[in-house]
Every structure is written in structure tokens, then in C-alpha cells.
Chain A
Amino acid sequence: MSTEARAAHFPAADWDGGVFPYRVGHRKLGMWLFIVSDSLTFSALLIGYSYLRASNVWPTPFPFYPSIVFSSVMTFCLLSSSLTMVFAVSASSRGDRAKARKWILGTIFFGLAFLVLHLIEWNHLYSEGLRPFSLPADWVTRYAAPDGTLPSPLFGATFFTITGLHMFHVFTGAIYLAVVAARLNKLKHEDVEISGLYWHFVDLVWMFVFPLIYIMTVDIGAH
């Protein structure tokens, strides 16, 4: 076989070099890998939370209003932001930059709404007396186990840590999207898609944070 014939022959298969085996560019693959990695940070925190919760008396203090209502609306915001984000990516794939920018701004709006609601919720809990290192005094008496074991102040610790880290991700995501929106004309479609990946990932994490932190901690007055 001649040199050229051989060389031409090689790129045919995915894994033989000279091609992107996944048909995915560097940045997109890199973002996927980052997402894998970051998911593990969150997994470690959520597993740590579950570990501690399973070995302690855990308060279940969230009332329907404001906590559950707020967090549900927040979930709704994030889900909707994901929808607008796909629309943005979709528009960008059609080359419609104006639309794409509009949808990204919509995404940022929902993201910010999430942040604001979350901060209000934090503030509310803080004013109730919840701290990373202690529970409000009335929770302590209310959620003590029948045998007298006190509820764990780790509630506040895990709550603030996990939601805080998530909030940080939403915040950086919003900034990231703002940059993308601002520079949209100079960016390629793939860049928009990648920012979308990050944003959906933030949404995805919340899909675990919400049930584990909020739903599992609803005050149904069973005690």
C-alpha cells in the first residue's frame, strides 16, 4: 500500500487518530469532564450530608410557607431557566443570534430570580436563629427525639454548605452567561452550547438538593 493510501485509510475509524472520536470539540468535551468532576464534589457533600443525617437526630423544620413554597418556586425558576437555555442554544444553532441572546437573558433572569429567592429564604432562616453551628432554640426542644436526644446542629451546617455551594455555582453561571450574551457575536455556536451545558448542570444538581434538603425536611407535624 502506498504511503498516501495508508494515510487516507487511517482516519476512517473513530479511535485511530486524526479525528474527534466523539465528534465533539475540545471545549465541549472539557466541559463534560468538568461536569463529571464537579458532580463528584456535590456527590461527596450530599453523601456526607446523608451520612450525618442518618447517624443523628435530624430536625424537620421546613414549613409549607415560606420554605417549601419558596423552594418550589425556585425549582420552577431553575427548570424554566433550563428551558430558556435550550431555546437559546437551539436559536444559536440556527444562526439566530438575536434570539439566542434574548433567551440567554431570559435564562439569566430566572437564575437571578432563583438567587434572590434563595437569599430571602436564607435570610428568613437566619432570622429564625439558624446558624451553621446551631439550631434555633425552639427547634431544639421541638425536634428532640423521644429519648431526649437533641436534634443535630449539623442541620444548619449541611444546609448552608450545600445550598451555599450550589448558589455559588448559580452565581458564576449567571456571570458566565452574561459574558456569553455580551460577546455572542464573536462566539461560535459551540460556545453557547457549552455555557448551556454548565447551566443545565447547575439545574441538575438542584434536582438532588431540592428533594434531599427540602422535601425530606418538611415539617408535617408528625412528631
Chain B
Amino acid sequence: MAGPKTNRIGLPVTDYRGVSSTLCKGCGHDVISNTLTTALYEMGVEPWRVAKMSGIGCSSKTPAYFLGPAWGFNSVHGRMPSVATGALLANRTLIGLGVSGDGDTASIGIGQFVHMVRRNVPFLYVVENNGVYGLTKGQFSATADEGSRLKDGTVNDFAPIDICTLALELGATFVARAFSADRKQLIEILKAAIAHEGFAVIDVMSPCVTFNNHVGSTRSYDYGRNHEGPIHEFGFVPAWDHPEVGGGGEDTFDVPMPDGGTIRVQRVGRAHDPRDKGAALRLLHEDAESPEYLTGVFYVRAGKPPLPQFLKMVEEPLATLPEARVRPTRETLAEINESYR
């Protein structure tokens, strides 16, 4: 009798699921959790190597809803970046994966976000962006579009913070945007981000069905469907599928990833080349003026050393180094004492 279907490291998809969600039915965040499950399963990520981090919010609850056998840390509001930075320093062999909300990232958390980007912490940072604080019942967050409306008619007067532009400006080397309802694209983006080394951010429009899915919202499913503008069509070809250069044919171009995988972009429509930062910035600045909601991988660049490499840390986890490697010798102490005599 055949066992359950497994992935390349021999695990069934159930190992990539979590406890059942307590979010509202139809919440965009649940779609993202499911997509993460699929992407992690298909990429054959070892669950027990993953540190799932989050802040506080509906979005921040979701790490409990996928990848059960991983290590989870639902920390405090807006401060996931620092906690994640510390965790990845303690054990650089961990695969850092964070889920945050737009309030958690762009309102209370923007300071830590900025500095995490600067430090190039090796981390996949997913923003589940619904333009509101879901968990506290629907107030505007700092990513809410100017002029968008709450259910009760309240209009947002302030310009939104654009997570992607900001990340690009600050030197992030993987910057993407997606729409939770476009699962197909999101899976490919997630896979590419998983293959990336260093900091990767994906800003995902993730409608809040309870507080921000009405007419007048710019984060509703309808708005997303009507305004999504993919900047390219692409797929991720993982390393073990042995992507050859040009393997996608003449109508594609390839962006190789450090893990051996490849982002393969179709030469149709805009066909944005994600290696071109200038073009990415131009796209984003145009986007800011237009109602179109651009999705895709704006920018990817390999080779920038992530934080542990910057600090020239040993390869092994600091967390479990034996005493001999962390406590200097008796002679060293004698030398130190001597210097104060």
C-alpha cells in the first residue's frame, strides 16, 4: 500500500500544517498560511530548522497555523525584527521566517523594520497587509491609502508607508509584492524568497474580510482583483530541478538564486527584470501615483553578506557551543588580572 504523498525530504504535507486557524472565515491571512504550507512543502524545507516569528495581530497569530513542527515565537507588538535578529544570531543555521501585519510592521514597528533591513538579517519577512488593525477592530494602519475609507465612512488623511519602496531604499536584496488571492504567483514568490540568502520582504495584500473588504477600501478582494498589475510572469525552478540557463526557452530570461534555483521570467507584458534596482524604483514611484497594484519580485540581488557573515561568526550555532569554545582559559584570566595589577 502506498504511503501518503511526501516531498523531497520525505515529509507529508501534514507536517507543514499547523493547528486550525481561529481567524475569520475568508481572511486573507489564512490564504497566506496555506500558501506558505504549500511553498515550504514543495521546497522541502526542514520544519525543525525553521524559526517562525511574529509580533501581535491577527496576522501575527498565523505562525501557529502552518508548519506545526517548527519553532514558533509570537513576541510583542511591532518588535519581531529585534527578536528575530537575536534568534538568528544565536543559531545561524535556523531558517528565519516571519509574519507580521501592516500595523505591526509599519505603525509601531517601522523603526525596527528599518534597522532589520539595514542589518541584512537572513530572514523572510512576510507582511500581511490589510491596511487596518484587524485584531483591535479595524482602525487604519500606516499603510492605509490616502483617501481610503473605513466601513463607518472615516477617511484616511495620511499618505501610506510603502513597505517595498522603503525596503529597497534601505538596501534590501529581495523585495516583492503579492496579493493573497493570487495564490499561484504568491507560491512562486515565496519559493524564490526561501531560496534567497539575506533579508527578503514580501508585502502581501491580504484582505480583512471583517473590517476592510467593503466598497471604498483599497485593500478589499474586489479592489485587489480589479487593480492587480503583475510586473512580470515568472516561476521559480528549484535547484533540484536542475534549471539550465535558457531552459525556459527564448521567451524567458533567468535570474539565478544562490541556492542553485532560478527565477524564470516570461518575456511578456512588462517582464520587469528583478535585477534592475533603478527600474524597480521607477516602477514603485509610478505605482505610487497610479491606482494599479503592482505585484511581482521588484528586486533581487545575491551576494550581500547577511548579518552573521558580516560579524564573522562561527558556522555552528552559538546556542550549543561547548564550554571550551565560549569560556576563555584560566591563562587568559590570569593575563587579564595581570593587566590590572
A and B part of one assembly: no
- Listed in ascending order, the chain B residues whose CB lies under 8 Å from chain A are none
> Taking beta carbons and an 8 Å cutoff, which residues of A are in contact with B?
none
